[in-house]
Structure 1
Amino acid sequence: MISARWLRIFILTFFCLLLFVTACASNPPSRYSQIQKETTRRGAPPAVVKTAEQGSTFNKFFPGSTGTYNVIPAQEKKGFAEYKVNKDGKTVAMLSISDTLSVPAAAAKYKNSTEVLANYPIIDQGNTATGLLISDRYQVKVLSRDPSFTRDDRVAWLQKFDLRGLAKLESTTASSNVPQSLKIPVNSNSAPKLPRVLSPQPAT
């Protein structure tokens, strides 16, 4: 009788200890924490290359407010700057300039461009974004946030940027950082013929 009683106590104690140890055991790392660990480990590629232009450098090349459109700063970081275009209190478009040194694939897309605007290759990115590439490096993009802001509006707003000023940022050092395979010889005699040249047009 006494033995059976002590056996029950022992079993209950064992299960209590088992539950306690299980509850205190550390949970295995999630796949997200593992990815974070891998991407931040020593030797992992940086998100933005050191030679990328500072985002603040791009601010002076953005268009200002005009008519019923208000242009407002939205985001700025190394290699990137973004502004909102508001109309009647609603964001209808986003404007951005990015340094593609950190994302070479972004520049590579322009190799297949069939249009030029102000002598720069231009492409549509989906149904809501239009961009152009300057000096094989700086991507200027307009993104529609409202159906009323059409493709024609995006092209018109691309022309409002100080494209010539942005092109002057290109230097010998910067040019050498761009892989030869990504350079787009738009102005050379060996350049592929781009059949459609977009003419300047006012924003609506």
Structure 2
Amino acid sequence: MFTKRGQKVLAAVLLSVMLLTTACATKAPSRFDQVQQESTQKKSGQAVVKDATQGSKLNAFFPSGGDGYNRVYTQEKKGFSEANLKKGDKVVAQLAISDTSSTPAAASKFANSSKKIGGYPAVELGKTQTSVLVNKYQVKVISKDPSFTASDRAAWIERFNLSGLAKLK
């Protein structure tokens, strides 16, 4: 009926038609596709509020190094800026300023604080973190080395330009 050559041509044509029809078929969206589309279109519930302060503006209020310490910025984004405090090659602490307008719960922990650093309400979180609230900004120092004590953290918080930060809108 068909010659060998005819069979090969017919097989090639059928294979091409099959590939073409399956490649052009539309795939039904999965349940994940729909959720992804909804979450990217939604503006509420995003991690950072629209009017949060840019991290680059917060950098101006960090203390400079000195006394054998170097400040090295590690992260900057809308509503947050962070730097490592190094002594030699060792990171001894992490310094951060965050805009709490995106995270009101972060500011609420200062409501019952009786401790003050630099005139601002302060809290100790565990044995490694000390924070103050300056208007809507949380200034935090986290010990990364056991030699960096709570009194060191308080002293470094006072080295931030807290009065300048208080004027930032």
- Answer whether contact 1:133 1:139 (CA < 8 A) is retained: yes
For 1:168, the aligned partner's letter is K
Question: Structure 2 CA distance, aligned partners of 1:76 and 1:59?
Answer: 8
1-structure distance, mates of 2:128, 2:90: 17
Query: For residue 76 of structure 2, what is the aligned residue in structure 1?
Result: 76
1:53 matched to 2:53: yes
The residue correspondences of 1:121-200 to structure 2 (distance < 5 A) are 121-135=121-135, 137-170=136-169
2:151 maps to a residue whose letter is: D
The answer on whether the counterparts of 1:39 and 1:45 sit within 8 Å (CA) in structure 2 is no
Measured on the aligned residues, the alpha-carbon RMSD in Å equals 2.2
Write the distance in 2 (CA, Å) between the matches of 1:128 and 1:148: 11
* Offset, 1:44: 4.2
Alignment identity in percent? 50
Aligned residue identity for 1:54? Q
How far, CA to CA, are the matches of 1:81 and 1:50 in structure 2? Answer: 17
TM-score w.r.t. length of structure 2: 0.76
When residues 51 and 151 of structure 1 are mapped into structure 2, their CA distance, relative to the original with a 3 A threshold, is same
* Pairwise CA distance, 1:29: 7.1
Query: Equivalent residue of 1:112, what SS?
Result: coil
Moved over 6 A (4+): 33-38
Give structure 2 stretches of 5+ with no counterpart.
1-29
For residues 39 and 101 of structure 1, what CA distance do their matches in structure 2 show?
21
Gaps of 5+ in 1: 1-27, 171-204
Change over 3 Å in CA distance of 1:42–1:125 after alignment to 2: same
Provide TM-score, normalisation by structure 1.
0.64
Residue 46 of structure 1 deviates from its aligned partner by 1.4
